[in-house]
Amino acid sequence: MCGVTGWIDWEADLRAHERTVRAMTGTLACRGPDAHGVWLSRQAALGHRRLSVIDVEGGAQPLTDTADPAAVLAYNGELYNYRELRHELGLLGHHFRTRSDTEVVLRAHLQWGSDAPRRLNGIFAYAVWDVRQRELLLVRDHLGIKPLYWHAHRTGVLFGSEPKAVLANPLFRAELDADGIAELFALPAAPTAGHGIFRGLAEVRPGHLLRVTRTATREERYWQLASHPHTDDATTTRETVRALLADTVERQLLSDVPLCTLLSGGVDSSAITALAAAARERAGQGKVTTYSVDFPGSSDRAPDAWRTTHDAPYVRAAVEHIGTLHTSVVVPDDDLLDARDAVLRARDRPGWGEMDASLHLLFREVRRRSTVALSGEAADELFGGYPYFHDAQALAADTFPWLHGRTTPAALLRPEVRAEVRPEEYTAEAYRRSLAEVPRLDGEQGQERRIREVFHLALTRWLPPLLDRVDRVSMSVGLEVRVPFCDPRLLEYVWNVPWALKAPDGRAKGLLRDAVRDLLPPQVTDRPKSGYPSTPAVRYTEVLTARAHELLSDPHAPVFDLVDREAVRSAIAEGRPLPSPRTAPNPVGGLDHLVQVDEWLRAYRVNLR
């Protein structure tokens, strides 16, 4: 994994702006601690920070095909089918100077142009400057696992893996308008694809590319899910899911640096770990290294609707059954507090507070011994594991099912801000646009039609913030996280599996559980869904409460340019939790959001428009 950035300008000579390009590149040092480089021409500048994973010695970037290049590439990602593509391109006459997947992407562009992304299987976001066509392509993977932001200025485009790279250029200013406020306060749990929060900042949407020429900037879709009848019976469906997942995990074990898996004791991460262990055994390699996260006193915390069980007993069962080299990372209160600033800088926006902080600390510990980690992310979205898939009221609601019956932080906005932002209308319109994007199946009605809608909402509105969180927090410590359940082949197959086969006998994720049942102990295979753990940290809550009181007594606190000061004061005085941006129950989530918004407005010097 890496960080990419750059600048296209049709009027300025960018060779005179090397210092700015290097500053943009330098902001991404955490994403690429191993090497860096820039490439400059009159109209195009590309910067790159490298985390070396494949071909450590030969994968330097930005990469050119020759000394007098036809194209220049800055690439962030991993291709899991690069060996097959390399062979195919070799037969077409291409000669390779390195073993890296980066060179495969460059030569795929030289051979197929903007059709190249259709052939790629992996996680990627890249920029290629086509010298011949005087054209920039910005490309993002099928599900948007790797980020890529862009800003159109008067005479060109700025871009970067993270907003901080674009912010390092004086042509872009940190500003927040009504739509950005709505995204932060009304839709933090269902963000709009392509919206970059800052005014004038966009993201290349998943499965899309952006084509930039002197006369136009336009976005083009190269991939989307397609609906068609599923004709396989239950046994064939189960066997196909198992075969696709096993092949995906084996492909994603490819690495020239130490690799591990993240193990929570749920069926998703345990299945990935077991398949990785089996693949390593076939290859004559050693045991899989695994990591989990825990908190002091977590076993004393009562279960709730989101955290139905504690991880530790299930982690132990999986470790003993599979035979892994396991480390449980225990995160104390004070460490969570210390990580807050690092997480804010990693995400460039308010996030999920202590849940981000604990993930950062887990990843920091993992990075001490591994550079790559495999995660079970996206299984619930793909197989229907979340409670809202099984809640009749949530399914019937005329909104995003996970927002049914919940109050968002938009409830705290000042009356004049609410009047401009119109959070309820913004959310309703976002929901309508999302439903319009669902690939329909002719003749599908009733429950199957609604379930298809909810799966699409889960994949396009619920999953993206989870993937963004994992990418930004992991890359802040130079750790690459791979997500086998996001493989497009698996997605395309499972998308069309009917609900009765996905949830046989009403069992959440029954298809996945049955497909991997022989790999795991029964208590892990049949464990109910249990969300990412939040800490029972008493001191964390006390410190946040004290900071909120400091904000209330500060007449110049910028958060109260947006939020109603008296509404916050009353809620805290009465002991009522503030509305949280998260759907998982957490009494401190809303307080965390309030404090983070203030910290973000100050740290990034955000102007309100």
Residue 445: both structure tokens together: 């009605």
Q: What is the pLDDT of residue 478?
A: 94
Average predicted confidence (pLDDT) for the chain: 94
Per-residue pLDDT reduced to its tens digit, 76-115: 999 999 999 999 999 999 999 988 999 999 999 999 999 9
- Per the listing, tokens 């993992």 go with 366
The pLDDT value recorded for residue 149 is 98
Q: Which domains are seen in the chain, by residue range?
A: 2-221 (3.60.20.10), 234-525 (3.40.50.620), 538-608 (no CATH)
pLDDT value of residue 391: 95
Does residue 2 have an active-site annotation?
yes
Q: Which amino acid is at 247?
A: D
User: In DSSP terms, which residues pair with 48 in a beta bridge?
Assistant: 4, 37
In the chain the first and final C-alpha atoms are separated, in Å, by: 35
Q: DSSP labels for 404-450? A: TT---GGGGB-HHHHHHH-HHHHHHHHHHHHHHTS---TT--HHHHH
The C-alpha R_g of the chain, in whole angstroms, comes to: 24
| pLDDT for the residue 301 | 62
- Residues 6+ away with beta carbon under 8 Å from 436: none
Instruction: Report how far apart, in Å, the C-alpha atoms of 387 and of each of 233, 308, 392 are.
Output: 26, 11, 10
Q: Are strands 149-153 and 156-160 parallel, antiparallel or unpaired?
A: antiparallel
β pairing state of 208-212 and 217-221:
antiparallel
DSSP line for 166-198: HHTSTT---EE-HHHHHHHHT-TTSPPTTB-SS
* Single-letter code of the amino acid located at 379: A
Q: How far apart are CA 550 and CA 479, in angstroms?
A: 36
Considering 2, 30, 260, 486, which one is annotated as catalytic? 2
Residue 152 — φ and ψ, nearest 5°? Answer: -90, 115
User: Residue 482 is inside which H or E element, if any?
Assistant: strand 480-482
Instruction: Judge whether residue 57 has pLDDT over 80.
Output: no
What is the arithmetic mean of pLDDT over 142-165?
A: 97
Q: What share of the chain is helix, strand, coil (3-state, %, to 5)?
A: 45, 15, 40
pLDDT tens readout for residues 334-383: 889 999 999 999 999 999 999 999 999 999 999 999 999 999 999 999 99
Structure tokens given for 103:
């060179």
Please state the three-class secondary structure of 20-64 as a single string. Answer: HHHHHHHCCCCCCECEEEEEECCCEEEEEEECCCCCCCCCCCCEE
pLDDT over threshold 60, residue 302: no
Q: Which residue has the tokens 């309820």?
A: 424
What pLDDT was estimated at residue 13?
Answer: 97
